A and B are shown apart, each in its own frame.
Chain A
């Protein structure tokens, strides 16, 4: 099956994703959801007819952090963007294969692209808070886009919860009405994490979230990733081997060679991938011998 870019799936053809919620304490503003299992089957990607990613089949289990590693240009970011239908926004992009969120194909009928993106959030390489919005408005942006109305009490509650989760609350609680752009780079990235978490996604994709940040901010964000890992399935692309070791439970090594599009060389528990990889290329890469 080859899905063309920008194709809109029609609602009502297949069962929509049922979102399981857990018992909700009275102190949270919006229903808490459970992390989801994300599976891909034979995912391929093309840019303007050129195959860049070939037959990637991976399973990302809930409550685990999965790291995608590999040299530049091996297709890991493309793969990540396929997971929440951001890939199809690139002109000339095509893809094939299935991506299942708890068994529901997000490219199948019944689930609109916007709907699947609400379940599968994303944090980008470059911090990108909305410059025209205040810190508080940035956190609540996702709700505003989905036209979810909350009482002012619930809004405050949600903002505090999300900023606390992103490790930013203590730094910004006095200045929630300042513009998002007034924060430092590391703070902006944590604001973006809070913003992505505020819609209560079940999967969070992170595309090199620390590559533009200093070690202190990186450390803070890695702590955040560990803290949210039991609430949302985290999939992180990173070029930093130490980071992959520090934050991830599972690991997938992507590689593209001459004449061969990007593919997964090896995947498995992070510990095993770093200590005892089966493929010599994995060993070379994780020990810094190339890439």
Chain B
């Protein structure tokens, strides 16, 4: 038990150290809390709180050191790089600057703070800048395509086709053309490929992970080997066995089969990984309730892994939606709408991109960029829907979210 005197003594030390502001706070709290603190012997109640501190934060001083090191290393490297030596090039300069910056930052922090802080902050900076490079590259691609593509985007671009294609007309071209035929083609081809690949991939993954036994290793090897097949080879394969012998003509279905060959291993492998992390205890619990193995898979394992399964499907679909090489010899591409996926050449968004970006006229290239923008938005929408579908929640909540969410977005957009 502490006497009142002891508590006062204890109070003195931190207030002296923390300066005037803290001292004022501490004496303010004295009259109200002292008696209680003396009774309980809880010194912490009266002692002023030290300002909260996050141990990993650099602090103002650390940020100053960071900025200072960056500036000084820039200056040093600029002199060395451009003035004293005959080197040139922005990339090399950036690389040298970064290396020099890390060295200076470590040395300075080592001087001002201590060795462990210096190492910690340099590593933190390296990790942070790696993340920044990756995120930056991604944002750059997305923003660049948006800016290049959105300029000539009109809502009619979504349903017009390239049938009346007169590049000589300049930018007024964009009142006549569109990629409606390609959107239809991409949706049909990818949808058909997914409809074939996803059930088979799920069953294969269930076989590999839940059934096991004879043949597992063989199947897994095949799946691994299949995922290494270059996409253009998948296209050539379909071309050689269906189109060359005139079993099938150029068609969306042929393209869907090529995409199926590419999607199957990717979805199977992701699904298998996802099923592997479903706790074995859930399978046991289900079997112990008298469920058959098939029911266990269908009603316990797959629903538990739902968000992962949705990710697996979306990943497969997103990759397939962007594939160009397998479509060249299969869907072939068309400038008019062909909604029949089983007959005749069919357009696809990546093909529009591929076939127009090489053209000399800027306006034709612009068609390609706008098509790229549409493709990106299509994949983005897919991702958003998948995230909403994949979240773990009750069936009712999920339905409510998917039905209600779009209205919220519209409301927000209108109010803005």
Point out residues on A near B: beta carbons under 8 Å: 84, 86, 89, 91, 114-115, 117-118, 121-122, 124, 126, 128, 130-134, 141-142, 144-146, 177-179, 192, 195-196, 199
Contact = CB atoms under 8 A, between A and B. Distances in A.
Contact of B290 (A114, A124, A128): A114
Interface in B371-416: 392-394, 396
Contacts of A84: 288
Nearest to A192: B285
Given A114-B292, A177-B394, A130 B300 contact: yes
A131 B304 contact: yes
B303 interface: yes
Contacts of B286: 130, 141, 145
Interface in B230-286: 279, 281-282, 284-286
25 contacts: A86-B288, A89-B284, A114-B292, A118-B290, A121-B289, A122-B285, A122-B288, A124-B285, A130-B304, A131-B282, A132-B304, A132-B306, A132-B392, A134-B394, A141-B286, A141-B299, A145-B291, A145-B296, A146-B290, A177-B394, A179-B392, A192-B285, A195-B289, A196-B288, A196-B289
Interface of B: 212, 279, 281-282, 284-292, 295-296, 299-300, 303-304, 306, 392-394, 396
Among B288, B299, B304: residue with most chain A CB under 10 A = B288
Contacts of A124: 281, 284-285, 288
Nearest to B303: A132
A117 B282 contact: no
B299 A128 contact: no
Given A145-B295, A179-B392, A179-B393, A128 B279 contact: yes
Nearest to A125: B281
B299 A144 contact: yes
B288 A121 contact: yes
A91 B396 CA distance: 39
A124 B281 CA distance: 8
Nearest to A84: B288
B392 A177 contact: no
Contacts of B288: 84, 86, 117, 121-122, 124, 196
Contacts of A134: 394
